[in-house]
Chains A and B, each alone.
Chain A
Amino acid sequence: MSISIYDARLLLTGLLTTLALAVVGCGAGFLCGFAVAICRTTRAHGMAPLRAALYGYCLLFRRVPFLVTLFLVFFVSQSVNADLPTFAVALLTLCLIATAYLSEIIRGGLESVHSGQWQAARALNFSYWQALRYVIVPQAWRVIVPPAVGFFVMFIKDTALASQIGVMELTSAGKVLGNKGLPSMLVYGMILLLYFVISYPLTRLGKHAERKLAVTRNR
């Protein structure tokens, strides 16, 4: 009933898998979320159906439990007969969900920039993209970063559910060790501790960023 080097390696692999899922999922989610947010903030009439579709997408993936989305993507991928590894399925689901949440955060940031900034940019003959790039987005960062960090922390916790479709991440590692006969309290206590170790510094970072960025700026 002792912990061997193999157990430690299992935990490490699990930890790295969790981190990989979280970082890649969130990273891709941020990029796609940016694209979605920009699409949703345009006012062009022609884009109305796209905007509606994206609105529906964001609503759907935030109002359906992570686990359900995961199972749905899993079973769809199974029936399409792709011999997709479970890691890929989990990653795809994570990206879909992260995009939905992060696009809301980014959209909030873009819309928080005072309309006078848009007016000044347009009056100075900035194109839509130039206005976004030089004026709006740099100012939106301040509003985007704290909730985005908060989301990333939540996201790391959500990766635990990937264990349910067979991905060998940290929680699965815990299950394996538990099944081997080690005392559950010890095993799961350790898993909780490991999650804490990766999440807590980020939470602190987020709070620090929030304080630093909360400088009031006039319009």
Chain B
Amino acid sequence: MHSCDLCGNPATIHETAVLNGKKLERHLCQRCAVKMGMVVNEVVPVAAMLQQMLGPAEAETTPDIDSVKYCPTCRTTFGKFRSTGLFGCPHCYVAFAQQLMPLLERYHEGGANHIGKVPRRAGAGMKPQPGPAPRNSQSDGAGASSSPATDAHRDICGPAELSPQERLARVMALRNQLEMAIASEDYRAAASLRDELINLGDPELPRSTRRARPANPSADPAS
């Protein structure tokens, strides 16, 4: 019989997740599970789920500094996001970086870094905005404001940062998939796997399969 990881009461909810090959177990009581935003009911609408994770905005007893924060681009407040579950514009991700990261990790079960497809012109769609400037998201850096960015802003605007172990696990998995794709003559899949390996800077990638990806500043295989 497990007790709740958080409060020590008898645990009724047991969750096993496999993350990067490691088995993670969580044991929670009903109350903490709801607090953690784990989906306890069969289907919970997304907005309700977010609300569950964040707690209802109006239930705060002290004036909540977060809920009056707003995105400088579209003026959506964090309180508004809480109640609807929707951001107002892409720049909200930068404006609310600090509040958002723990939420994302919880919702995406530990996932906090994008892995997967990268548009060829990554970053071209987001012009720098007033307020903390997106760093690294602009290949030319033109117009980047010099105002000091917080850690959270730096994190969210920077490249995906995998730990060395994560990176290695990822590279190994991708190499396997690449072999399989080539074996099954799925060249389209192979090409995208190769691109992803290049992005990760896989040193063992045969030289002939490398190619320049000028659009992505964080993907220089040589560095």
* A associates with B: no
Contacts from B to A (Cβ < 8 Å): none
